Amino acid sequence: MTVVSDLYYVSVDGDMLDQIVAGHYGDTLGGKVEAVIAANPGIAALGAVLDAGLRIRLPDLDTATPVETEQLWG
């Protein structure tokens, strides 16, 4: 059995979601911001700059992305 643990971040005045995501996951690539928005219904409606005290769920994301390859010769 795999245990998945989500973390939470409590915003401070002036935080921006993309900065929070980059700080936690290391970057904003691969749909990370979208995954955090999906895990926090209604957060996108709050605007770009967040108020203090907002509890934001940071889901445990699988960062291993499969890469498709093609054989060019033989």
Whole-structure pTM value: 0.76
Q: Distance of CA 37 to CAs 3, 33, 66, Å?
A: 22, 6, 23
**pLDDT: which is higher, 69 or 34:** 34
d(CA 61, CA 40): 14
Residue 61's pLDDT is 87
* Every domain of the chain and the residues it spans: 7-58
Q: For 33-56, what is each residue's pLDDT tens digit?
A: 999 999 999 999 999 999 999 999
